[in-house]
Amino acid sequence: MSAATLVFDLDGTLVDTAPDLIDTLNVMLARHQVATVDYAKARALIGGGVKPLIERALACRRLSAAEIDAIFQQYLEHYVAHIADRSRPYPGVTDALDLLARRGYRLAVCTNKLEGLAVRLLEALGLKDRFAAICGPDTFGVRKPDPAILRGTLTRAGGRAERALMVGDSGTDVVTARAAGVPVVLVGFGYTEIPVSELGADRIITHFDALPAAVDELIALPT
């Protein structure tokens, strides 16, 4: 039997990126004389994407789409330079990935973060080489919850949907996995406005120490 592939979301799943994402947002808001956002409130909204977060934060300015796009580009320029200032893998991530790799699983990342940013972040944190594929919305021209991005990630990693599992933190990840016919584990500490218990995952974990057992329950171990 071929090795199974475990596909991970990035922000809010593998890495707590909220500090650098929100710090960058507040830099942009300060430039436009808009009050900075509350960290806890903004953290829950990250899963919807940075551009919608910018639009919400600047709603009082009634900016055009072109103006939002320009601010988004400024955001990216600043964020790239500070991508791993305070972002860190969640507790247990490295040990869990290493254990799963020793058991023969392929590992991949499927994120709505731009591929280059995802690669840069994972490289800065010493995680990049653990993944057979790191894919974002610009990799295939689609973003989650379109299942094509998950299927494409599996193909690039050398895996198949019939022998795969997704690990994420949001309803978007659940919808993506279901549409691709893949079981899904959600972490209970990520970025979601809706309680994770209401999102319909196959399993929920509250620490990465619990991931190997959840994987064992949902897909047969590779042989």
Q: How far apart are CA 172 and CA 184, in angstroms?
A: 11
129 catalytic per annotation: no
Concatenate the DSSP letters of all residues of 133-184 into one string: EEE-HHHHS--TTSHHHHHHHHHHHT--GGGEEEEESSHHHHHHHHHHT--E
CA dihedral of residues 84, 171, 97, 40 (deg, nearest 10): 40
Alpha helices in 32-92 (DSSP H): 39-45, 50-57, 65-81
Q: How far apart are CA 99 and CA 8, in angstroms?
A: 15
Do 72 and 52 meet the contact criterion of CB atoms below 8 Å apart?
no
Do 112 and 137 meet the contact criterion of CB atoms below 8 Å apart?
yes
Do 173 and 47 meet the contact criterion of CB atoms below 8 Å apart?
no
CA distances from 117 to 4, 63, 81, 194, 200 (A): 26, 26, 10, 26, 29
Residues labelled as active-site residues: 9
